[in-house]
Amino acid sequence: QYSFQDKGWGASLAERLVRKCDVVNRGFSGYNTRWAKVILPRLISKSTSAESTVAVTIFFGANDSALKDVNPKQHVPLEEYAANLKSMIQYLKSVDITEDRIILITPPPLQESAWEKECLAKGDKLNRCNSTTGQYANACVQVARDCGTDVVDLWTLMQKNQDFSSYLADGLHLSAKGSNFLAAQLWSCLEKKVSTLPSLLPYWRDVDHTNPEVSLLQDAPQ
């Protein structure tokens, strides 16, 4: 949901792909895979033209991995989380979006001390921990291997030889720097998929101003 905020990773990708394809945001703050699996057919239906879909990202785990005794509403057991991801991949394949166009994204790491402050400010206890989030990230990577999709292992990549706290705005959600990091990782997956896409409509300098219809309607469907 937050990916299209200022400096969000969705907005960053949309900017890179302007005049080539649309980046459609279907994020829902606080949702887990149990709920996402139910609504996915409403978001991407059989009537959606699979031919025009370059890629679909599935980014869940931060809410599923919430601790059951403290946050039972969002928590989804690890095995069910993996099964739900597989179910969503199977659904996408059933509407002709093949596995080579699906990119799974693991949850980012959790900066516990920062997130605990957020929880305490709301009168709650710390409701997540990084080691548990890591188990869900590993499960996500395994699902990608099993199903033949691409995966961005954000949990591992953000912790590689560095302090990852600057990637998170509040210990859980991505900061501008974290969004930029994710956009860069996703771009390495997307670049080949979009490299052959033509620009929509000619560059303005190439339009014949004396007879614009010739330039602008030459590829229009009859």
Q: Tens digit of pLDDT for each residue in 44-101?
A: 988 777 778 999 999 999 999 999 999 999 999 999 999 999 999 999 999 999 999 9
pLDDT at 219: 65
Residues 143-171 have a mean pLDDT of 95
User: Which DSSP category does 69 fall into?
Assistant: T
Indicate whether 209 belongs to any domain: yes
Q: Which residue has the tokens 């799974």?
A: 104
Q: Does the structure show a pLDDT above 50 at 125?
A: yes
Domain of 20? 2-217
Task: Please say whether the beta carbons of 200 and 20 come within 8 A.
Answer: yes
- Whether residue 81 is contained in a domain is answered as yes
What residues have CB less than 8 Å from 115, skipping those under 6 apart?
126, 128, 170, 171, 172
pLDDT tens digits along 90-111: 999 999 999 999 999 999 999 9
The answer on pLDDT for 222 being more than 60 is: no
Contact 107, 155 (CB under 8 A): yes
What's the CATH code of the domain at 146? 3.40.50.1110
The answer as to whether 157 is a domain residue is yes
Q: Is 13 inside a domain boundary?
A: yes
The answer to whether position 186 is within a domain reads yes
Mean residue pLDDT across the chain: 92
Q: Which residues pair with 102 in a beta bridge?
A: 56
Contact 144, 151 (CB under 8 A): yes
The pairing of beta strand 56-59 with beta strand 150-152:
unpaired
192 lies in some domain: yes
* Per-residue pLDDT at 175 exceeds 50: yes
Neighbour tally for 57: CB within 10 Å: 21
- Tell whether 222 is covered by a domain: no
> CB atoms < 10 A from the CB of 197, how many?
12
Q: At 20, list the tokens.
A: 């080539």
User: Model confidence at 170, in pLDDT bands (50, 70, 90)?
Assistant: very high
Check residue 220 and give its pLDDT: 58
In the prediction, which pLDDT does 156 show? 97
Q: Is residue 46 part of a domain?
A: yes
How many domains is the chain partitioned into structurally? 1
